[in-house]
């Protein structure tokens, strides 16, 4: 079975001309896939019946199988997909009041980085996703929205996995989001736990894609306790790479900070963070901690959050709180998969050493 979402525009043409079809047929097929964004071959009404039948028997519209879908009271949709080899991944669609429709997609099955508060980190690493598997998650949401006369406007690579650990496939998927789904670079965000060489490499691509860095602590001992990758690249090296990114691109960096009560929401941490980021073109995104089974930290109190923001402002560092979405449907990173797998351990997963990166 050929997965059409794995094929570029040129590949589609090669396939159909190989079947003896004229070139304009592959243009029509491309239009159905990526402009009309239909979900079945039956809807491709200007293709001859025989071609539609051949497409239906020899090709597929994607390789991801939907296992579960949950819809939150706030409209957030969370999906669990099974890949052809049995691995499970999550994607989320978040509709915002201002007409944004944002897909949050995964780049790996599991994650090797072992961040202590993260449900995906607690699962360990299974494998990298291919560019097509990354892209397809967004393509399905785009197709579903198109069927309702709506449009996917933004994509964040903040689902399961560390995008920069799977750098080449992630960048290829980003190119396809732009070329095939028409999502502008400025509407795409890639989030990394802080893989310094890849941040530098990314800075040099000249892409206008937004960069988010998971910071979560402002001193090395505290960051290492939460994010083991900090042993490999410490805060000094990370901030240096962020400065390089800002210098190269002229773009600001977003820092993500999951507020954990009594851990990283103290006045001392706020001052240390202010000192660390003072003068850097950046923005701090405060995320209330999503409690997970493997970590007993709790989200901060609202008053503490307000105070934290005020302290950062006194250093000229802008900060906002990200609204928690889909909290009633396990929509935090890796949480739906953990909920589904409570009785069942994923196959072949192991934590690989960060030293092998
Ligand atoms: N691996 C990448 C992207 C996926 S995680 C990264 O770490 O940046 C997306 C964001 O969710 C990261 O900022 C991560 O630190 C955060 N996150 C993970 N688990 C969380 C939890 N339980 N509560 C709040 N934020 C969490
Ligand atoms: Fe991996 Fe990101 Fe989760 Fe850390 S927070 S374990 S890098 S997915």
Distance of alpha carbon 174 from alpha carbon 184, whole angstroms: 10
Question: Residue ranges of the alpha helices (H) in the chain?
Answer: 9-18, 23-30, 49-58, 119-123, 131-147, 167-179, 196-203, 220-226, 235-249, 267-277, 302-314, 335-340
Residue located nearest, by CA, to atom 5 of ligand 1: 158
CB atoms within 10 A of CB 102: 20
Q: Which of 129, 162, 164, 256 to mutate to test the pocket of ligand 1 (most atoms within 8 A of CB)?
A: 256
pTM for the model stands at 0.92
Output b/e per residue, 172-200; b: 16+ Cβ within 10 A.
bbbebbbebbebeeebbbbbbbbbbebbe
Output b/e per residue, 316-326; b: 16+ Cβ within 10 A.
ebebebeeebb
Q: Is the domain covering 2-60 a CATH 1.10.150.530 domain? A: yes
pLDDT at res. 352: 34
Does 287 sit in the ligand 1 pocket, CB within 6 Å? yes
Residue located nearest, by CA, to atom 10 of ligand 1: 158
- Asked if 170 and 141 count as a contact pair (C-beta separation under 8 A), the reply is no
CA of 299 to the centre of ligand 1 (A): 14
Of the CA atoms within 13 Å of residue 333, those in its CB half-sphere come to 29
Q: Which residues have a catalytic role annotated?
A: 90, 333
Q: Which of 90, 105, 121 to mutate to test the pocket of ligand 2 (most atoms within 8 A of CB)?
A: 121
Atom from ligand 2 closest to the CA of residue 121: 6
Atom from ligand 2 closest to the CA of residue 108: 8
Residue located nearest, by CA, to atom 15 of ligand 1: 214
β-bridge pairing 88-95 and 77-82: antiparallel
CA of 333 to the centre of ligand 1 (A): 6
pLDDT at res. 246: 97
* Grouped pLDDT means (10 residues each) for the chain, 357 residues: 94 97 96 93 96 97 94 91 96 88 96 96 96 97 93 96 98 97 97 98 96 98 98 98 96 97 96 98 94 92 95 97 67 62 40 35
Q: Which of 287, 297, 299, 337 to mutate to test the pocket of ligand 1 (most atoms within 8 A of CB)?
A: 287
Fold of the domain spanning 65-351: TIM Barrel (3.20.20)
User: What is the location of CATH 1.10.150.530 in the chain?
Assistant: 2-60
User: What is the location of CATH 3.20.20.70 in the chain?
Assistant: 65-351
pLDDT at res. 327: 57
Atom from ligand 2 closest to the CA of residue 119: 3
Does 123 sit in the ligand 2 pocket, CB within 6 Å? no
Residue 125 phi/psi, 5-degree rounding, is -100, 135
Residue 256 phi/psi, 5-degree rounding, is -95, 140
What token pair was written down for 284?
Answer: 């701090």
CA of 285 to the centre of ligand 2 (A): 16
């Amino acid at each position: 079975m050929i997965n059409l979402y794995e094929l570029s525009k040129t590949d589609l043409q090669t396939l159909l001309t190989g079947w003896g079809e004229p070139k304009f047929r592959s243009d029509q097929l491309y239009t159905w896939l990526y402009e009309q964004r239909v979900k079945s071959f039956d809807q491709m009404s200007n293709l001859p019946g025989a071609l539609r039948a051949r497409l239906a028997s020899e090709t597929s519209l994607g390789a991801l199988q939907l296992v579960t879908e949950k819809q939150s009271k706030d409209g957030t949709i969370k999906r669990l997909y099974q890949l052809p080899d049995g691995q499970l991944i999550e994607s989320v669609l978040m509709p915002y009041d201002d007409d944004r429709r944002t897909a949050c997609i995964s780049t790996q099955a599991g994650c090797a980085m072992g961040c202590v508060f993260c449900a995906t980190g607690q699962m360990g690493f299974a494998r990298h996703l291919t560019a097509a598997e990354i892209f397809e998650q967004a393509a399905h949401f785009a197709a579903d929205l198109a069927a309702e006369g709506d449009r996917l406007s933004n994509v964040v690579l903040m689902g399961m996995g560390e995008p920069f650990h799977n750098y080449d496939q992630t960048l290829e998927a980003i190119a396809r989001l732009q070329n095939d789904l028409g999502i502008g670079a400025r509407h795409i965000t890639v989030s990394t736990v802080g893989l310094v060489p890849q941040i530098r490499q990314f800075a040099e691509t000249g892409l206008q894609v937004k960069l988010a860095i998971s910071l979560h602590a402002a001193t090395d001992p505290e960051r290492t306790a939460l994010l083991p990758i900090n042993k490999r690249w410490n805060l000094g090296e990370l901030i240096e790479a962020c400065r390089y990114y800002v210098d190269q691109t002229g773009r600001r960096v977003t820092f993500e900070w999951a507020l954990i009560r009594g851990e990283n929401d103290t006045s001392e941490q706020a001052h240390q963070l202010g000192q660390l980021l003072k003068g850097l073109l950046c923005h701090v995104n405060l995320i209330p901690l999503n409690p997970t089974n493997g970590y007993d930290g709790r989200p901060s109190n609202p008053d503490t959050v307000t105070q934290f923001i005020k302290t950062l402002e006194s250093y000229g560092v802008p900060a906002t709180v990200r609204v928690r979405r889909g909290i009633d449907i396990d929509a935090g990173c890796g949480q739906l998969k953990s909920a589904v797998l409570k009785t069942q351990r994923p196959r072949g997963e192991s934590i690989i050493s960060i030293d092998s990166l």
